[in-house]
Structure 1
Amino acid sequence: MKTWPVPEWLGELPSRVNAGAFAHEAGFGPQYVVNGALAELTTIKVGGPAEVLATVHDWGQMAALRRFCTERKVALTLVGKGSNMVVRDGGIGGVVVLMGKGVDRVEVRGEEIYAEAGVACGTVARAAREAGLAGLAFFGGIPGSIGGALRMNAGAYGSETFDALVQVWCLDALGEERVLKPLELKPRYRGTELPEGWIYKAGLWRLAVGDKEQIREQMREINRARSSSQPLHMPSSGSWFKNVVLPRDIEGLGKAGEKVNAWKVVDAAGCRGWVEGGAQVSEQHCNFFVNTGNALARDFDVLSERVEVAILDKLGIVIGREVRFVGVDG
């Protein structure tokens, strides 16, 4: 596993104290750790360290850090809640950012919900429910943060992040705030087109008034469905592959042009339960890759490639990953 040397650029900062204020005199002072462990900060529990692991507590810190890294050509990576990502065994160079308290605000504004990037999706779902606003119950089934949900247009149970979104706040590569209409980000299935170096700051959703108890029951049903069908007791990154549009009629899957759940494709290729080192295609839900203990990021990469090849060979389907691999190989 890679251990990063203390980066030269860190020594250029006007303030450098052990696990103390990171460039406090420069005006953004998040807490930082050199060679900060990342595996336990992800839901799949693998990966090497961050060259510098910094925690920001307000948007002024985040903006200054974004500008600092851009001007000095230092890579900056956001972790969020650590879901839907695999950190490679060599870790991540540059600055890896955790969002602490202070960048996780949620506000009910009449029939609208404002939520910042650092807040958990489930927290936003509950806020909408308690306000009697319908349309965000599906967030209760997404284990990540709002920032990650905006980045990938996360979705579940027939809904997506951008469905009721009316405004988006971002920080550009120099830390300046930008306000955008959702269509400017060209949302698509599991993706958006955020300019390079930009960071999602917040979103505003316009919702319909609903019955609080009906919304509560909808969220309970989502939780029941997750508990019964997903391996929530094991470390994983969530859904591994994107759903696919069938290129032709395939017996047992559907007609050409139909969208099919990724787990059905993995299962049809005979990959349920496949193992590589400590990584396994879940027996319970085969669009989940689980850490059975002591897995390496490389195990998941190799296993994914094996499954992708089997799907292509047996079904003629090119399947794409929903999960992100970040960092360098060990």
Structure 2
Amino acid sequence: MVTFPDITPELKAAMPELRGRLLANEILAPFTWFRVGGPAQVLFTPADADDLAYFLKHLPAELPVYVIGVGSNLIVRDGGVPGVVIRLAPRAFGEVKADGDIVTAGTAALDKRVAEVAASANLAGLEFLFGIPGTIGGALRMNAGANGGETKDILVEAIAIDCRGETHRFNNADMKFTYRASGVDPALIFTAARFRGTPSSPEAIRSRMAEVQAHRETAQPIREKTGGSTFKNPPGHSAWKLVDAAGCRGFKVGGAQVSEMHCNFLINTGNATADDIETLGETVRERVKASSGIALQWEIKRIGIKAS
């Protein structure tokens, strides 16, 4: 098994007031939906936003930092992740509440949970989040969207902490949202966000959420070990149609397979490695390029190093 030098004693010595949890060489596979991947050199779970700020302020600048949520749109490579992986846990960053037409959420809150709280407050406009199997942190970073809605449609403000431990606030325009992306410095770590809903009838909201859920269950392999949508839709095209036209439906590499149900989903059939999944994705990209001339772009995030 891959192991990295244990640097947690030095980090703890440099951060005597740290309250969060530091673990050395912690396997990340259980934290991802694909259930693959090697260890993090250091896995840090902050106690709260102040603890995260304290940690970042005292962290050596040369150490790379990665942030993960529920790992629903993530491949952790088999060689593991050198540096620090920060996991924002729901206990510290998962609170969701509604006040008037504003829904406030920590970035470890599940998108689905935010939609449910909005619905309970009779607020429409957030129903699309019910169909996204990630967290608010990921939604902010990639302008997550589904079923005709996007994060940019509802965001009022996002709060983030930088590598010096300083807090920043971003309004909707500051986020520089584009299709499946935001323009905010990737080194910033989002901790909370505020969204605005539109008052509506509970029947209309629940009906829309039921439609979103029905679409997921009938069109997507949600009960498989998957990473959600693999590739971004190119302008004017659907990624799944391009993958299907290239003859890749059901195509396999090792234990990884293109879903028979939805061609833009890759699945771990049971014994896949991260390399199997990534190689499958790259092979699909090559075949789509040869078939259509279009270069698909990954939507799934990939971190770490390949096993030697």
Aligned mates of 1:207, 1:227 — CA distance in 2: 25
Paired position in structure 2 for 1:254:
none
User: Is 1:81 the equivalent of 2:54?
Assistant: no
1:183 matched to which residue of 2? 173
CA RMSD of aligned residues (A): 1.4
Letter in 2 for 1:108: A
Mapped partners of 1:165, 1:238: distance in 2: 22
1:165 Cα deviation from its structure 2 partner = 1.0
Which position in structure 2 is the counterpart of 1:300?
Answer: 277
User: Are 1:82 and 1:144, in contact at CA under 8 Å, matched by a contact in 2?
Assistant: yes
Question: Percent identity over the alignment?
Answer: 40
Aligned to 1:226: 216
Q: One-letter code of the match for 2:82?
A: G
Secondary structure of 2:152's counterpart equals coil
The structure with the largest alpha-carbon Rg is 1
Question: Contact 2:12/2:18 (CA < 8 Å) preserved in 1?
Answer: no
Residue by residue over 1:109-128, the C-alpha shift from the partner in whole angstroms, topping out at 9 and shown as x without a partner, is 21111111111111100000
Query: Quick one: distance in 2 between partners of 1:53 and 1:129?
Result: 35
Counterpart-to-counterpart distance in 1, 2:108 and 2:279: 31
Normalised by the size of structure 2, how large is the TM-score? Answer: 0.95
Residue 87 of structure 2 is aligned to residue 98 of structure 1: yes
In 1, Cα distance between the equivalents of 2:58 and 2:64? 10
The C-alpha deviation readout for 1:15-67, integer Å capped at 9, x for no partner, is: 5xxxxxxx7x6322211221111101100111001111121221111111222
- Say which SS state the counterpart of residue 294 (structure 2) adopts: coil
Aligned to 1:166: 156
- After TM superposition, what 4+ stretches of structure 1 lie above 6 angstroms from structure 2? none
CA contact (8 A) 2:98 2:104 kept: yes
Match of 2:198 in 1: 208
User: Which amino acid is the alignment partner of residue 174 of structure 2?
Assistant: E
Amino acid at match of 1:11: P
Give the whole-Å Cα distance in 1 for the aligned partners of 2:169 and 2:130. 26
Q: 8 Å contact 2:93–2:192 — kept in the other structure?
A: no
Q: Deviations over 1:222-254 (max 9, x none)?
A: 111111111122100100010112xxxxxxxxx
- For residues 255-289 of structure 1, the C-alpha deviation after alignment (integer angstroms, 9 at most, x for no partner) is xxxx2221111111111010000100000111000
Match of 1:5 in 2: 5
Gaps of at least 5 residues in structure 1 are 16-22, 246-258
1:87-109 superposed Cα distances (whole Å, 9 cap, x missing partner): 00011111211222121121212
Q: Is the 8 A contact 2:160 2:190 kept in 1?
A: yes
How many Å apart are 1:73 and its aligned residue? Answer: 2.1
What is the match of residue 288 of structure 1? 265
Residue in structure 2 matched with residue 155 of structure 1 by the alignment: 145
Matches within 5 A, 1:202-281: 202-245=192-235, 259-281=236-258
- After superposing the two structures, state which structure 1 stretch, 87-96 or 72-81, moved more: 72-81
Amino acid at match of 2:87: L
Aligned residues: 306
Once residues 186 and 69 of structure 2 are traced to their aligned partners in structure 1, the CA distance between those partners, rounded to angstroms, is 18
Taking the aligned partners of 1:14 and 1:64, their CA distance within structure 2 comes to 12
User: Does 125-134 or 111-120 show the bigger shift?
Assistant: 111-120
Shift of 1:304: 1.1
Contact 1:47 1:89 in 2 (8 A): yes
Q: Distance in 2 between matches of 1:155 and 1:229?
A: 16
Task: Return the offset for 1:297.
Answer: 0.8
Within 2, Cα distance between the matches of 1:196 and 1:99?
16
Deviation at 1:12, TM superposition (A): 2.4
Q: Match of 1:107, SS?
A: strand
Are the structure 2 counterparts of residues 14 and 168 from structure 1 closer, same or farther at C-alpha, using a change threshold of 3 Å?
closer
If the length of structure 1 is used for normalisation, what is the TM-score? 0.89
**Which amino acid in 1 is paired with 2:250?**
G
Give the distance between the partners of 1:68 and 1:141, measured in 2 at CA: 38
